[in-house]
A = this chain, B = another copy of it.
Amino acid sequence: MYLKLINLIRINGEGNLNLSGITKTPEPPYYAVIFSSQRTEGDRGYGKMADKMVELAAKQKGFLGVESARDEQLGITVSYWDSLESIKEWKENAAHKVAQDKGKSVWYTSFSLRVCRVEKHNFFEM
């Protein structure tokens, strides 16, 4: 459901979400936030929130795209941003803060967050 929505979204301006699920980001340097998580049992409103957060993030200044995959053991979501300032603004977004709190109290058993500077990238289409 999460990825279906991602695949439907098209971003105006500098943002760009590719329909194939792999984000065609602009030339480096830019920034990535790697969010790895392990879920609690059951949905508990998670799917709906995840969709809403992608929708909101896509409206944030400096958002470049997002990639996400989840299997039984782990979920990884990588969002791409033009600057550390844009990442900070998204972190402070009020609706996002509510989701962050609920993530800690309801949805996740553990997670890691990494903020990275993308130095180089390559894309391949077979």
With A73-B69, A75-B69, A108-B126 as contacts: A117 and B117 at CB distance below 8 Å: yes
Instruction: Name the distance in Å between A109's Cβ and chain B's nearest Cβ.
Output: 5
Tell me if A83 is interfacial: C-beta within 8 Å of chain B: no
Complex: chain B residue closest to A20, CB-CB: B110
One complex includes copies of this chain to the number of 2
**Also in contact, A7 and B111, with CB within 8 A (given A20-B38, A34-B32, A38-B20):** no
Mark out the residues of chain A between 65 and 83 whose CB falls within 8 Å of any chain B CB in the assembled complex. 67-71, 73-76, 78
A114 within 8 A of B: yes
Query: Among the listed B25, B67, B113, which residue makes an inter-chain contact with A74, where contact means beta carbons less than 8 Å apart?
Result: B67
Considering only residues 3-35 of chain A, those with a C-beta below 8 Å from chain B are 3, 7, 20-23, 25, 32, 34
